[in-house]
Structure formats: C-alpha cells, structure tokens
A and B are shown apart, each in its own frame.
Chain A
C-alpha cells in the first residue's frame, strides 16, 4: 500500500547513544517515508524516548546521522514542520492556569515569530485545530478541568495548529481512559489519511497499535524489525518474543 520510493521525511543512519557507560541505542538506522503511519514499539528502557529526543534535537548526537526533510539535523531550522505530543503525565502541570485556547495557541509561538502578536487568522487556526480533534466548544475551559483523554486531544490540537507535515506522539494513550483509546486511534488514522500527515507513534503497547499503522519498527537498544505492517503481522510469535525479550507480553493478532 505504501509507496516506499517516496522520499523519506526522517533518515536515521547508524546512530548510537549512551548515558555515561550505559548504552541506550546501538547502530540504529531507520527511514520514515512521507505519508507513513509508523509505530515505534519497544519495552520500557528500550531507548525509544532517547531516539525521539535525538530526532527532535533535544539531545545532541553522539554518533551517526539524522536527516529531517532531507536536511542534516544540525542545519535544520524548520522545526514547525514537526509537531510533538509528549507523554502528558511527565511534561504538564495539571494545575496550570491556562485555557484550552491559550494552550493550543502556544503551538503557534514559533510561527507567529518573535515580538509579533497573534492575529485573527491565528485565532481561526486555533479553532480549526480544536475542531479537527473534536474539542471545539472547550476553548474557554481551563486545561486542568478536562479529562485525560480530552487533554490529550488538546495537546494534539496544539501540535496540529502549526500545520506540521510530521506529527510525533510519545506514548499518547498513557492516562487516557481505555474506552477512549479506540476513538483516539481513529482520530490519528483520519489525520494520517485525510490530512496526509506523517505520523510516528511511540508506544510500548504492541498489541493494539500494529493493526492501525502502515509501518512498524521494533526497538530494543538496536532495531529488531523495520518494515510495513503486513510484514510485521506475518512474523510469528516466536520471532516477536525474541525481538522484545521475554519481559514483554504479546497479544496475538487474529489475521
């Protein structure tokens, strides 16, 4: 289904990373083609977050190369092409006195530019983004008053408001009511198909995710599998569990 000849949005070449003597990533190479919906799966401590931080430029490369939109990451300036939704629980103070509107508008900070003020068109973009995640009408509420799932939608709206070509989500369903997880994946699927946004979903939840995505990459320090979702599903459980190690419980796929 996916055209692999499409130019890659992210090219990761042979990167390794260590904290002190602790090797977190070893020789990881990964290409993400335009329009893909990639699930980056791996158990806790597999280096997923580190890889993500490297791609987002939050950590400095120790070895290897990363290209974003065809440009070396050290030269890359176009950060508003990349939307990022982090693990809500870690980065967000639920008592923060901001309205939903203010939170989503903060996603336009870079785009509006230094010393400039939001204009009418920016305010309209905020409402559009809220609409696309089904949260129109909540803009005047304080962010802390919403449920976990609603907050996560607001954060996606914040990432979408700058109209990125690539959206990266780090464990986005943590803290989301399990009844709403399905809806949530549906929303992501729509964004990927209708708006053509390339998605990277980082998760330790191997079971449900791999049905919804076009590509799968399995990470545990090094990359154990990287291919499209159909290939992934053709792997048998034995191969899968050697990839993840025995600590991960795999849910079987009914195909």
Chain B
C-alpha cells in the first residue's frame, strides 16, 4: 500500500519536499520563537502571497511568462518584505511589533489587487493558500533542495553567533560579533524558508510549521541543541503523517499537517515533564 503512493512522480516530489521543509521550518523556527519573532513568519507569508499572485497575474497576461515558477517572485517578495520589516523596526523602535501588521496588511492588500486584476480566482491560487500535494513540480523540489543546503550550511557555520544573538542580543553586540549582519542573514533565511514551505502547507499555515513543533519541544527539551532536535522531530512527524493521511483521506495537506502538529503540541503540554518552565508564566 505504501509503495503504491510513490509510483507517481508528483507524490515523490511532494514527499521529498515535505521531508525537507519538515526539518527546515522548525530549524529556523527555534530561533524565530526564542527571539519572540513568531508573528514575523505570518507577515512574511502574506507578502509571499502577493508575489505569487503577481506571478500568476503576469502568467495570465503575458504568454511569454507562462513557464515562470511563481515560487521565484514569491521568494523575492518575501525577502523584500523581511527587509522592510527590519527598516520599520528601526523606524518604530519602541513599537517594534507595528512592523508586523503593516507588512501583513500590505501583503494582503497587494495580493487582493493582483487577484482582482487577474479577474478572479484560478485553482492554482487555492493550492498556494492551503497547500497542495499534486502541485509540487520537479523544479519546486530543486528550489527547495537548494534552499535547504544554503540554510543548513549557514546555520551550522553561524550557529554560535545565532545562538548568542538569540539568547542575549545586547551581549552579542557588546562582544563585537557582526550582529547586524548575522541578523540580516537570519531574516533572509526565514523569508526563503517561508516561501518554499508554502507549496506544501500553504501560505496561511506556514508559520504554524515554524512555531508549533518548537512550542512542543520547549516543553521538555534540555538545552538548545535538544530543543532544535525535538522541534525537527515533531516537524517531520507532522509532515510525513500529514501527507500520508491527506493522500489516503483526500484532505488538504496543509491543514492535516498543522492539525497533527497541534495534536503533538497538546500531547506535549499534557505530558511535558518540565514543570519548572517559566514560559507563559508571570509576564
């Protein structure tokens, strides 16, 4: 039965892509969560949507662009959005979270305009919103593999610096490491991972894959490396089980993956042994 589902190339693509983002999203998610930037993932995913909508619009209007993979423009928008967020966070130093609604609503606004210019929905867009197994092409897979290699290599090489920046930003700056650059590289990696993850889980659910496995992992991991390990483990369980279930029960993969991740989180909260945790206590 299991071998049956790998006969189709699109399913192979979907599973391989899923396995890669099942590790990538929680890997960066750990840094995103501990730096209290969870909502930035949401803002960026909506900006990615604008890029994709524009790409679909261009595809419809100009035959020459028919072969353009929407992933590219989506990623470009996401990276540009991340740079805007940084700019806004500097402009509104005392209201840093303001950057998120500004970018998020800007992203949706643009998306809606592009969609209306395209004169209505096409089925493609639905796949981007909620994730799709059948839509993953070989090109998508290669883009995901490339992003995976870049991000994993960068995280390994800059692990010390990323850790210090997350744990104690002031100390990072005082110790003389190039913290501005490290942060810049980090935010671009987040933008890239968000744009490649949306193929499988969909734009509206990308941030869930970055945060839910991490939230579960925080319940009982000891130390930072273990937190990363468990986050990736939960991410993989959610993606692989979610893809199988969505295929056999004919459900939207994004939703299935996210609901499994929620289930894992609830289980972790119920049995998590770390009673001394201070997460969420007395702000």
Contact = CB atoms under 8 A, between A and B. Distances in A.
A163 interface: no
A91 B173 CA distance: 12
B83 interface: no
B160 A118 contact: yes
Interface stretch (A137-145, A222-230, A246-254): A137-145
Given A79-B175, A114-B161, A95 B225 contact: no
Specify which of B158, B164, B169 lies most central, judged by the most chain A CB atoms within 10 Å of its CB. Answer: B164
A195 to B, nearest CB: 20
A92 B36 CA distance: 12
A96 B164 CA distance: 12
B124 interface: no
B270 interface: no
B177 interface: yes
Pick from A57, A58, A91, A98 the residue with the most CB of B within 10 Å. Answer: A98
Contacts of B174: 56-58, 79, 82, 84
A130 to B, nearest CB: 15
Nearest to B178: A114
A99 B167 contact: no
B112 to A, nearest CB: 37
Task: Identify which of B178, B223, B226 gathers the most chain A CB atoms within 10 Å of its CB.
Answer: B223
A86 interface: yes
A93 interface: yes
A102 B225 contact: yes
A108 B176 CA distance: 11
Contacts of B163: 98, 102, 106, 109
Interface of B: 34, 36, 157-158, 160-161, 163-164, 166-178, 217-218, 221-227, 274, 276-280
Contacts of B218: 95, 97
A205 interface: no
A93 B224 CA distance: 14
A144 B277 contact: yes
Nearest to A168: B174
Given A109-B160, A144-B278, A77 B176 contact: yes
Contact of B222 (A99, A106, A110, A115): A99
Contact of A115 (B157, B227, B276): B157
Contact of B167 (A103, A115, A117, A118): A103
Contacts of B175: 79-80, 84, 107, 109-110
B222 A96 contact: no
Interface string A68-92: 0000000001011010101000011
Nearest to A144: B278
Nearest to B176: A79
A109 B167 contact: no
Given A79-B174, A84-B174, A109-B163, 17 more contacts: A80-B176, A86-B171, A95-B278, A97-B224, A97-B227, A102-B163, A102-B223, A102-B225, A106-B167, A106-B171, A109-B177, A110-B177, A114-B158, A115-B158, A140-B223, A144-B277, A144-B278
Given A97-B34, A110-B177, A58 B276 contact: no
28 contacts: A57-B174, A57-B176, A58-B170, A58-B173, A79-B174, A91-B169, A91-B170, A92-B167, A92-B168, A94-B278, A95-B218, A95-B277, A96-B34, A96-B167, A97-B34, A97-B221, A98-B223, A102-B163, A102-B225, A106-B160, A106-B171, A108-B160, A109-B164, A109-B175, A110-B175, A114-B157, A114-B177, A115-B157
Interface of A: 56-58, 77, 79-80, 82, 84, 86, 91-99, 101-103, 105-110, 112, 114-115, 117-118, 140-142, 144-145, 158
B276 A145 contact: yes
A101 B160 CA distance: 13
B166 to A, nearest CB: 8
A99 B223 contact: yes
A142 to B, nearest CB: 6
A80 B158 CA distance: 18
A158 B36 CA distance: 23
Nearest to B173: A58
